[in-house]
Amino acid sequence: MAKTHILGYPRIGAQRELKRAQEAYWKGEIDQQALLAAGSQVRSQNWRAQQAAGLALTTVGDFAWYDQVLNHSLMFGVIPERFTEGAADNKLDQYFRLARGRAPSGEPVAANAMTKWFDTNYHYLVPEFTADQVFNLDAEWLLAEVKEAQSLGHNAKPVVIGPLTYLWLGRGVDDALGLLPKLLSCYTQLLEQLAGAAAQWVQIDEPILGLDLPPEWREAFAPAYHTLAKASGSKLLLASYFSPLRENLPLAFSLPVEGVHIDAVRAPEEVALAAAALCDDQLLSVGVVNGRNVWKTDLARWQQELAPLAEKLGDRLWLSASCSLLHSPVDLATETKLAEVEKQKLAYSRQKLDELNTLQQALNPGAAILPAIGKTESRSEAEVRAELDNTWRTLKYPERAKVQQERWQLPLLPTTTIGSFPQTDVLRQVRKQFRNQEISAQDYDAHLRAEIAEAIRRQEILGLDVLVHGEAERNDMVEYFGEQLDGFIHTGNGWVQSYGSRCVKPPIIAGDISRPNPMTVQWSEYAQSLSKKPVKGMLTGPVTILNWSFPREDVPRAVSCQQIARALREEVLDLEAAGIGIIQIDEPALREGVPLRVSGHNDYFAWAVGCFRYTCSEVKAETQIHTHMCYSNFNSIMDAIVALDADVITIESARSDLRLLQAFSEGERAGEQGGYPNEIGPGIYDIHSPNVPERAELVARTRELLEVIPKEKLWINPDCGLKTRNWAEVGAALLNMVEAARTVRAETSR
């Protein structure tokens, strides 16, 4: 009979208990004892849930006080020099110093960098290596958790990140692979200690097996795993997820491990290949329940597909979720906001455990056939592509630029901001009162108008050239649109960890998307009525809305994206008709959707870029389209960014050096020769810091920018939206920015 297990469970707690405890501890409201108790509570609940659902093994080691990669850095002693000075007086505080640069004890220090975990919206802390890196094993926490689980009666299966993936994720050395021999001795000790703790199985995650690996990385697997296998007294389950194994599939199964897990959601075609590659003494774990989404699994399909395999492999077939459930919300039973008919279609982590159990039963000989999940009718992807490819603005950028300049008469180095202004406590308060129906829609409206008027007044005084309305009406740049579009549903408790104690609650795309009413027009129109200067309309782009939502599983993502694009296109045209002549369509998540395998890039960019263009392909030449993106590595997606053909792009670059800009300025900016052919506003100061940039600093920065970007094409702006700052900081920083632009403008002629 097939067995069941999972690769990991969310650690935030069903009511985000861990988040609350972490934040209370950081603020000094509770002591470490209380925090430790909250963590142990979450762990035991998670373990009990797995046991209650009849899972054969209970996964341990997926818990983290901040991040699982950081757990490993601490376990291997990968602690950069700067943390030894002013060290905290206990291990947990030292861990928080690495994670966030500060903790209740110890001196403040620059934290480890954070970046996205593969193609998810989860952020991990990047290991910082040095050329003479020393690794020292300290597995105290992990061993204690294994014992804790065992003492509660669980058959604990510890999970660790594999040595190659761990090295791959780090930075600081050119040859991370060169550190492997030293690191392996930590792993062999670790495996000995886990076997000593009576762990029958150890799960080793090597998700990089789903990437296009350089040959030397592929070749490093076999020797490394032979070393590990020799040391291990436990059986090893090698797990890969998020992406097909493809050319690495034979490699994965040839390693001396007792089991291999594959992601059958991302690569259903690999189930048969994996079964064929499986050795007689290996087991196969198939991840059929989607760990990245909220929809119920089509168990009937898997019952049918896996039946022959279940018969052949018996208990050598393990059923699992595709990846750790870290990326799914915790428990549908805690949902208060969703209607019963909606809940019927969904499964959060807790329910996914039950799905595994149901499938296990259904694979028993003689089990009844499971009911099929109804399929929806939707347009085909081919139809979508045809529509996207159809049109583009009639004039090319150089001609559009002329018409736009005639219309706006903007000075050289025009100044603007990215969209949002401070979300003040008062504003949050009022929003909450409105949600709780404590104030009327009219009162709420009046308050938002007052906020907008105030934002316009301040910008006029500051002397900015292109104004924004400030986004006071938006709680979140995706949720705001999701709430107004048909086809989305919104959960009350569908939280997923984003990083540390931060969680996000993505909307769910539940059907075909359409726009019943204009979404932003009244606010933009009102803001524009208050000023003679142009006020930018402000929209979140289709790719970002898609990538920050839970997608449908019954239609390709491109189909939903195009539906969102059509809704935004209607909005864009309504804005234009209402006299809004500059419209910004933000795409900060364009890069997030890029497939992990290079072979998928062209296809993704074709529809993602197509959808963006579709939102604005019908606007007049004199309407200026802006876009905004905030990350700092554009090199790999430069072609796509050029293809968006926005008249102006603003990007986050304040924190990176000018090398980033080389991507935008290379060649003679002819597009084909590389570089960005249209106008560009590289953020000139970092909004993530409360520090007010000095005027002289901004002048110098602007002069530097002029060395790589022609003066006609350079915009002056902060590097992202200002909603997380307060007005005092924003006012002072923008004043310096406007003054700096004036200074440099005076020494530059047209």
Q: Which residues are catalytic?
A: 688
Look at residue 489 and give the partner it binds from Zn ion, ligand GLN, none, a contact being a CB closer than 5 to 8 Å depending on partner kind: none
Residue in 735, 743, 700 with CA at minimum distance from that of residue 718: 735
Residue in 620, 592, 626 with CA at minimum distance from that of residue 608: 592
Residue 216 CB neighbours (<10 A): 9
Residue closer to ligand GLN (CB basis): 628 or 713: 628
Residue 296: what residue type? K
Residue closer to ligand GLN (CB basis): 419 or 500: 419
Residue closer to Zn ion (CB basis): 58 or 520: 520
Residue closer to ligand GLN (CB basis): 259 or 683: 683
Residue closer to ligand GLN (CB basis): 207 or 470: 470
Look at residue 723 and give the partner it binds from Zn ion, ligand GLN, none, a contact being a CB closer than 5 to 8 Å depending on partner kind: ligand GLN
DSSP conformation letters of 153-217: T--EEEEEE-HHHHHHH-BS-S-GGGGHHHHHHHHHHHHHHHHHTT-SEEEEE-GGGGS---HHH
Contact 596, 242 (CB under 8 A): yes
> Strands (DSSP E) along 556-634, which ranges?
582-586, 624-629
Look at residue 538 and give the partner it binds from ligand GLN, Zn ion, none, a contact being a CB closer than 5 to 8 Å depending on partner kind: ligand GLN
Look at residue 384 and give the partner it binds from ligand GLN, Zn ion, none, a contact being a CB closer than 5 to 8 Å depending on partner kind: none
What are the helix (H) ranges across 83-174? 91-100, 140-151, 163-169
Look at residue 213 and give the partner it binds from ligand GLN, Zn ion, none, a contact being a CB closer than 5 to 8 Å depending on partner kind: none
Rounded Cα gap, residues 668 and 127, in angstroms: 38
Residue closer to ligand GLN (CB basis): 284 or 418: 418
Q: Measured in Å, how far apart are the chain's first and last C-alpha atoms?
A: 78
- Report, in Å, the least distance between residue 584 CB and ligand GLN: 7
3-state secondary structure (DSSP) of residue 657: coil
Find the radius of gyration of the CA atoms of the chain: 27
Residue closer to Zn ion (CB basis): 431 or 628: 628
- Report, in Å, the least distance between residue 399 CB and Zn ion: 29
Residue closer to ligand GLN (CB basis): 521 or 706: 521
Residue in 45, 78, 89 with CA at minimum distance from that of residue 63: 45
- Report, in Å, the least distance between residue 452 CB and ligand GLN: 14
Residue in 540, 542, 570, 543 with CA at minimum distance from that of residue 477: 540
CA 721 to chain centre: 18
What is the CA angle 546-550-556, rounded to 5?
A: 65
Angle of helix 441-462 versus helix 727-746 axis, rounded to 10:
30
Rounded Cα gap, residues 460 and 467, in angstroms: 8
Residue in 163, 352, 341, 330 with CA at minimum distance from that of residue 265: 352
- Report, in Å, the least distance between residue 589 CB and ligand GLN: 8
- Report, in Å, the least distance between residue 628 CB and ligand GLN: 5
3-state secondary structure (DSSP) of residue 628: strand
Residue closer to Zn ion (CB basis): 271 or 720: 720
Using Cβ positions, the residue closest to ligand GLN within the complex turns out to be 721
Contact 293, 323 (CB under 8 A): no
Residue the block writes with tokens 């690996």: 213
Look at residue 261 and give the partner it binds from Zn ion, ligand GLN, none, a contact being a CB closer than 5 to 8 Å depending on partner kind: none
- Report, in Å, the least distance between residue 588 CB and Zn ion: 5
Residue 450, both tokens: 């007052």
Residue 254 CB neighbours (<10 A): 13
- Report, in Å, the least distance between residue 522 CB and ligand GLN: 18
> Strands (DSSP E) along 32-134, which ranges?
58-60, 114-116, 123-125
Residue 477, both tokens: 């740049």
Contact 571, 616 (CB under 8 A): no
- Report, in Å, the least distance between residue 544 CB and ligand GLN: 8
The four Cα atoms 300, 303, 305, 307 give a dihedral, to 10 degrees, of -160
Look at residue 157 and give the partner it binds from Zn ion, ligand GLN, none, a contact being a CB closer than 5 to 8 Å depending on partner kind: none
Residue closer to ligand GLN (CB basis): 296 or 628: 628
- Report, in Å, the least distance between residue 407 CB and ligand GLN: 23
- Report, in Å, the least distance between residue 583 CB and ligand GLN: 12
Residue closer to ligand GLN (CB basis): 299 or 485: 485
Residue closer to Zn ion (CB basis): 226 or 655: 655
Rounded Cα gap, residues 656 and 289, in angstroms: 40
Rounded Cα gap, residues 428 and 204, in angstroms: 44
What is the sign of the dihedral through the CA atoms of 311, 314, 317 and 320? positive
Residue 626, both tokens: 């802006």
- Report, in Å, the least distance between residue 524 CB and ligand GLN: 13
- Report, in Å, the least distance between residue 687 CB and Zn ion: 8
Residues in contact with Zn ion by the rule CB under 5 A: 630, 720
Contact 651, 629 (CB under 8 A): yes
Rounded Cα gap, residues 4 and 1, in angstroms: 10
Residue in 246, 242, 171 with CA at minimum distance from that of residue 207: 242
Look at residue 693 and give the partner it binds from Zn ion, ligand GLN, none, a contact being a CB closer than 5 to 8 Å depending on partner kind: none
What is the CA angle 253-254-257, rounded to 5?
A: 70
DSSP conformation letters of 391-438: ---SS-HHHHHHHHHHHH-PPSS-B---SB----HHHHHHHHHHHTTS
Residues in contact with ligand GLN by the rule CB under 6 A: 418-420, 471, 477, 538, 586, 588, 628, 630, 720-721, 723
Residue closer to ligand GLN (CB basis): 519 or 720: 720
- Report, in Å, the least distance between residue 457 CB and ligand GLN: 19
